[in-house]
Structure 1
Amino acid sequence: MVIDAHHHFWQIGRNGHEWPTSGLGPIYRDFGLDDLRSEAVGVSLSGTIVVQSQAHDADTDWLLEVAANDNLILGVVGWADMLAGGAADRIAHLAQQPKLKGVRPMLQSLADDDWINQPVVAPALEALTQHDLSFDALIFARHLPAIDRLAKTYPGLRIVIDHGAKPPIARRHSHPEETRHWRELITAIARNPNVHAKLSGLVTEMMPGQPIDDLWPYADHLLEQFGPDRLMWGSDWPVVNLCQSYRSWFDQVHNHLRAMPTHSTDKIFSTNAKTFYKIKSETGVTL
């Protein structure tokens, strides 16, 4: 059985929506549970983690409402204004929601690469640690040194690097030095035992028509550094639809990892998401 560790829902013009914009035609519409079930046919999907897509409390509240009414959604990664004076109180409130598992500030869009380490954010980070919530890092490779500092400052904070820090796959051949730098930064960040990574969002870092084989060295490096115990598969649906289908991305990764022992692929496709996000089994025991 498969747990999708990273996907989204959104409603155009509602719940604080700002992205996607109308220029992204294939994904500029509402996406919800019925769409997910339709597109994941044949994947043996047993549960998912839905991740915020808007920097707005309304988006998080809506996702929690959706999750509360459907057992397919095992957890929600929401958003909180970590600069707000009441950030710690908001995080404490979110922590009381059974399916809220973590938060994701949208660091990739911020001008300051070291934004997360400024003192004013500390109360929010301390609240996350206190309430045992996780931290999804939506970043580019240039942010990895800041996340490294974050991981060392808060060793009790569970951190996951979304989309492998968006490696420079499209520029693999034209700018090989960027790939070398990404590899070095990934190697460094993976030394922190509280940092994990998602095998997600990689196809949208490729050029149109670029062969899928250009992607695998990046996926393999993530696997080499984080190992099968700290890497989890995610669809990044519906963003993945900009390049290919949900089922296609799943099949490609599953096929690429087919030589691994079953217990290792089970971790990547299911168990690690349960462990990292502290998903409880039907008996109420944390796996």
Structure 2
Amino acid sequence: MVIDSHQHFWIYDEERDSWITPDMQVIRKNFLAEDLRPILKANHVDGCVAVQASQSESETDFLLQQAEANGFVKGVVGWVDLRADDLYGKLEKYSQFEKLKGFRHVVQGEPDGFLLQPEFIKGVGQLVAFGFTYDILIHQRQVREAFNFAVKLPNVHFVLDHIAKPLIKKGEIQPWADDIRRLAELPNVHCKVSGMVTEADWQNWEKEDFRPYLDVVFEAFGTERLMFGSDWPACLVAAEYEGAKGILTDYLSMFSDSEMKQVMGTNAIRFYNLDL
């Protein structure tokens, strides 16, 4: 079974979605489950996990509505204020939704040191009581901070989004590679092979551009802790769904069938405890 562990839905709002800059015109519109369904079918993908794109509880509710109305949306990674005084009660409320699997904060847009705030660490630690996971969304410059964060929370199940957004367009691999290897030493940290095309030259990337970065994450995490993610529709600024997926499937052709199945579906099913 193939699971896309990372995609988004949104009803486009120019003010809220200001991160979608004018050069991203192709994604300055609505993207809903009904739009994704035929794409998944055409690419032989059996289900997906919808991940928050804006930071509000209404975003979480919106994604849950999309999931409840569409069986192929197997899980949701939402947003909640993890520093809130009443966080436990909010998590208790959200725990009634079977498809809500975890939470994420857009840390890539926060100042250095955000992950290490005591109230944030405390909040993420509360996810364990409800079986929720946490997606780490950061830029490559924040990987060391993510290590210092995750090492304090050994009981939380973490997954690193977009291989921490290395500088693929510039062809730079250090210090990202060494930082990734260190982060991968923590057994409770997984990694999504996703979001790579948007870090490359949007118009002129080649599959070979990604191989050095794939070599690092496969060596560091192994096929047991990696999972495929399309990052649709964000990927559309640089590649169609098929192209984004093909980068990984081509690379996986050198691996065994069982290893390919792990990365393309089994790991996401296990990590997010998806009900199939």
Paired with 1:103 and 1:262, the residues of 2 have a C-alpha distance of 31
Q: Cα 1:260–1:159, aligned 2, differ >3 Å: closer, same or farther? A: same
Q: Which residue of 1 aligns with 2:266?
A: 271
- Unpaired runs of at least 5, structure 1: 282-287
Q: Contact 2:7–2:50 (CA<8 Å) still a contact in 1?
A: yes
Asked whether the equivalents of residues 88 and 123 of structure 1 are also in contact (C-alpha less than 8 Å), the reply is no
Q: What residue identity is the alignment partner of 1:39?
A: I
Q: What residue is the counterpart of 2:157 in the other structure?
A: 158
Q: Point out where structure 2 has 5 or more consecutive residues left out of the alignment.
A: none
Alignment map for 1:1-287 (pairs within 5 Å): 1-13=1-13, 17-111=17-111, 113-172=112-171, 176=172, 179-207=173-201, 208-281=203-276
CA contact (8 A) 2:40 2:46 kept: no
Change (3 A) 1:219 1:73: same
Distance 1:147 1:164 in 2: 12
TM-superposed deviation, 1:46: 1.1
Contact 1:16-1:54 at 8 Å conserved across structures: yes
Aligned-pair CA distance for 1:18: 4.8
Once residues 139 and 180 of structure 1 are traced to their aligned partners in structure 2, the CA distance between those partners, rounded to angstroms, is 16
User: Would you identify which runs of 4 or more consecutive aligned residues in structure 1 move more than 6 Å?
Assistant: none
Matched residues, number: 275
Residue identity matched to 2:65: E
Is the alpha carbon distance of 1:142 and 1:19 closer, same or farther for their aligned partners in structure 2, counting shifts above 3 Å? closer
User: In the alignment, is the contact (CA less than 8 A) between 2:40 and 2:47 conserved in 1?
Assistant: no
Shift in alpha-carbon separation, 1:141–1:14, aligned structure 2, 3 A: closer
1:23 Cα shift? 4.7
Q: Distance between the aligned counterparts of 2:15 and 2:155, measured in 1?
A: 32
Distance across 2 between alignment mates of 1:210 and 1:217: 14
Alpha-carbon distance in structure 1 between the residues aligned to 2:19 and 2:73:
22
TM-score of the superposition, structure 1-length normalised? 0.91
Once superposed, what is the RMSD of the aligned Cα atoms?
1.7
**Cα 1:88/1:117, change in 2 over 3 Å:** farther
Cα shift readout 1:67-120 (whole Å, capped 9, x = no counterpart) = 111110110000111222222322222222111000001100001x22122112
Using the alignment, how far apart are the partners of 1:180 and 1:21 within structure 2? 28
**In 1: Cα distance, 2:66 partner to 2:14 partner:** 14
Counterparts of 1:271 and 1:92 in 2: how far apart (Å)? Answer: 28
- Supply the distance in 2 between the matched residues of 1:201 and 1:126 (Cα, whole angstroms): 26
**In 2, Cα distance between equivalents of 1:182 and 1:190:** 12
8 Å contact kept, 1:87–1:123: no
